[in-house]
Each structure stands twice: as C-alpha cells, then as structure tokens.
Amino acid sequence: MNGNCENFALKAQFIDRAVTFVNAEYLRVKRVEGTQMEFDRIDFANSVRADGTLDWKGRPGHWVLKEKGDTLQIIVEQGDYVARDMKGNIVPLE
C-alpha cells in the first residue's frame, strides 16, 4: 500500500450488529514491483461456520452460470475482476 492505508478497530458488539461477511480470499504474493503485485489465488470462503470460523472451499472462487444460455460479462473494476449478468447485476463468486 506504500503507506496509503489506515489501521482501525471495531468493537465486537458493532460487528455483530452491523457488519455482514461477504467473502475472503487466501492469496500467495509472488512478486511486488512498486505498486504492482503478482499473486496466485489459493483459497476462497463465502460463508462462516456456526463456530465463527471461515468455511474455506479448498479452491479459488469462481462464477457459476445457473441456467442454460446464461452469459456473464467479466470486467475490471477498482483493480479486480467483476462479473455482471446481462441485466448488469453483479454475480458473486461461489
């Protein structure tokens, strides 16, 4: 981040009340050159188990087409890949 970041803490009662987990990725950084980074996506979690631990899938996240004939448009937004369906809705990784 070249120092362009902030550290902060949130109280547990706020997290429990107001924060929803979306997903987490486990990345292995292969190379850093200035502000550019090369990495491998190792694992992915999009849910939390009853005991509060992340439910790692054992693979990188991927997009799933639900119906025959579905299509996705993959674009880069804010430096990361985003998939959108033909109506423009974001399709989350699974």
DSSP E strand boundaries for the chain:
24-33, 36-48, 54-56, 73-77, 80-84, 90-91
Task: Supply the pLDDT for residue 3.
Answer: 62
Task: Supply the pLDDT for residue 41.
Answer: 94
- The answer to whether the Cα torsion of 39, 40, 42, 45 is positive or negative is positive
Task: Supply the pLDDT for residue 78.
Answer: 85
| Sheet arrangement for strand 73-77 | 73-77, 80-84, 90-91
> 23: closest CA among 65, 54, 53, 62?
54
CB 49 within 8 A of CB 56: no
Q: Split the chain (94 residues) into runs of 10 and give each run's mean pLDDT.
A: 74 91 93 89 95 95 91 90 93 92
Taking only Cα atoms into account, the Rg of the chain, rounded to an integer number of angstroms, comes to 16
